[in-house]
């Protein structure tokens, strides 16, 4: 995306002194391009974005103006990237060769695959625009592709040309993976959400570029877009399915000898089964040789098109959540075939935020929040590495499965808010609270319940298992001074709106 910049007052004053020149009028009439020209379906998107403040969760960041691209598809939808419109207070769409910015709102969105669709309030504005169709299949390698959008460096539509150079199955976000098309057409900030067109159809939309190389951009393929749209058709988004297995390659000679398999056997080795519902269907050390009849090589790759081999998980991600996958296995030298239902995601302690804003609870100047994947992303890799060196709890749970159904880690999102009732306490932000009065904390709602139900004169909060720190508070003083703490820090409430049923004060 491209950030907009406003002129400073003294520059504006200087420009006002220059001789006036009548600007060329930008047409607001229908595009002069032919009706079947793909350019007519490409739009510019303006978004005022205010992402949440993960460390001061009662706040949102000041709005910033950003621009991106989009394409009109069937049903009057505008297809774009999630990151172009995420956390937007206001969205406008400008049609090709029009001066009017049309009000729009998000219809469907998924950060996991970085896709979103918009609805324009004035649907009649699109009556003269022919939507672009999604391609029916992956483009062949070396296919000529035109990338359309509104990148940095100008205000009018940009068209660059290149070829499809690579197709891969890669991680998108957290535990989601899908196909990605690499093109050698120029892609720059502002191109995000714009279509890559092959033979007049959308083969994919731009979502990122390789910053360390020249003219290397990436498209979300049409089949991933179609999966996203069909998933939302019932109004409920399930995501991309997976099997919940940890796999390893079968290329090591010692491993093959240990498993007693000859050169004729190819596949991957199951190292972990990250779900409890499979029973004896799959075990560690099983060799997976086929997925739905397609043979897997010793690197875990399968063919999906001419000249294109990708990781075998791609065959699973193409299905819908709950579909069954037929696996060919070798266990203890015996071949067998099993059917495994797919799941939407592997259960993990770290989950996505459940709403657009982080949950929080403030007690005596301590700001508690769940340790979500969004919080860890905001903290950054350096902070996470530092926590690992200190031996704190969060890094140990990075890929951990929950020990019980409602488990979540509760951390301090920021330093303790200053007040005399917390004088002398200094708990490092992102430290995990483990106990309230010697009772283990299961999740944020449970922590609130433990504090609400306390009848003792003191509350003892314990942090971190191996580097235990304690905070002792007197509930009577907290009750007395909480209004002052909130007012001093311009905080509207002691908890987020989703927690007021458990903390109604």
Which residues have a catalytic role annotated? 83, 114, 192
Question: Strand, coil or helix: what is 394?
Answer: helix
Spatial CA neighbour of 145 closest among 186, 182, 220, 196: 196
Percent helix, percent strand, percent coil in the chain, to nearest 5: 20, 35, 45
Cβ neighbour number for residue 504 with a 10 Å cutoff: 8
Asked whether the CA dihedral 67, 72, 77, 79 is positive or negative, the reply is negative
Q: Which is it for strands 294-295 and 287-291: parallel, antiparallel or unpaired?
A: antiparallel
Cβ neighbour number for residue 299 with a 10 Å cutoff: 13
Do 274 and 349 meet the contact criterion of CB atoms below 8 Å apart? no
Do 195 and 204 meet the contact criterion of CB atoms below 8 Å apart? yes
Q: How far apart are CA 134 and CA 68, in angstroms?
A: 20
The rounded Cα 184 to chain-centroid distance in angstroms is: 25
Q: Which two tokens stand for residue 394?
A: 């969060």
Name every residue whose Cβ is closer than 8 Å to that of residue 382 and which is 6 or more positions away in sequence: none
Name every residue whose Cβ is closer than 8 Å to that of residue 18 and which is 6 or more positions away in sequence: none
């Amino acid at each position: 995306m491209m950030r907009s910049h406003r002129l400073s007052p003294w520059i504006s004053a200087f420009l006002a002194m220059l001789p006036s020149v009548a600007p060329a009028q930008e047409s607001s009439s229908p595009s002069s391009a032919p009706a079947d020209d793909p350019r007519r379906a490409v739009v510019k998107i303006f978004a005022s974005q205010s992402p949440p403040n993960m460390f001061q969760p009662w706040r949102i960041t000041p709005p910033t103006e950003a621009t991106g691209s989009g394409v009109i598809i069937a049903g009057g939808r505008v297809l774009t990237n999630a990151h172009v419109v995420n956390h937007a207070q206001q969205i406008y769409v400008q049609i090709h060769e029009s001066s009017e910015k049309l009000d729009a709102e998000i219809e469907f969105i998924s950060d996991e695959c970085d896709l979103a669709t918009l609805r324009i309030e004035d649907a009649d504005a699109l009556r003269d625009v022919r939507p672009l169709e999604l391609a029916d299949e992956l483009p062949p390698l070396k296919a000529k592709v035109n990338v359309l959008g509104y990148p940095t460096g100008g205000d009018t539509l940009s068209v660059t040309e290149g070829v499809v150079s690579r197709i891969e199955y890669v991680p998108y976000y957290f535990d989601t993976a899908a196909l990605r098309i690499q093109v050698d057409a120029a892609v720059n900030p502002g191109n995000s959400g714009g279509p890559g067109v092959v033979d007049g159809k959308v083969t994919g939309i731009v979502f990122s570029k390789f910053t360390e190389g020249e003219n290397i951009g990436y498209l979300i393929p049409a089949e991933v877009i179609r999966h996203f749209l069909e998933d939302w058709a019932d109004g409920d988004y399930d995501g991309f399915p997976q099997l919940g297995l940890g796999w390893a390659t079968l290329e090591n000679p010692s491993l093959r000898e240990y498993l007693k398999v000859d050169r004729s056997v190819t596949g991957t080795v199951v190292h972990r089964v990250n779900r409890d519902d499979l029973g004896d269907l799959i075990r560690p050390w099983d060799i997976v040789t086929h997925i739905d009849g397609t043979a897997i090589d010793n690197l875990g790759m399968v063919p999906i098109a001419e000249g294109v081999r990708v990781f075998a998980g791609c065959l699973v991600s193409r299905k819908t959540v709950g579909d069954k996958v037929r696996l060919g296995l070798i266990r203890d030298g015996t071949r067998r075939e099993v059917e495994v239902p797919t799941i939407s995601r592997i259960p993990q302690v770290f989950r996505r935020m459940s709403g657009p804003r982080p949950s929080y609870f403030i007690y005596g100047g301590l700001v508690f929040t769940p340790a979500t994947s969004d919080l860890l992303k905001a903290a950054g890799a350096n902070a996470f590495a530092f926590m690992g060196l200190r031996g704190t709890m969060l890094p140990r749970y990075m890929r951990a499965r929950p020990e019980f159904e409602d488990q979540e880690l509760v951390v301090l999102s920021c330093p303790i808010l200053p007040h005399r009732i917390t004088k002398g306490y200094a708990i490092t932000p992102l430290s995990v609270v483990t106990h309230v009065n010697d009772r283990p904390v299961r999740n944020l709602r449970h922590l609130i319940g433990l504090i609400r139900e306390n009848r003792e004169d003191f509350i003892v909060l314990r942090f971190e298992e191996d580097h235990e720190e304690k905070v002792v508070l007197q509930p009577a003083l907290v009750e007395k001074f909480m209004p002052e703490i909130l007012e001093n820090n311009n905080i509207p409430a002691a908890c987020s709106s989703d927690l007021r049923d458990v903390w109604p004060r």
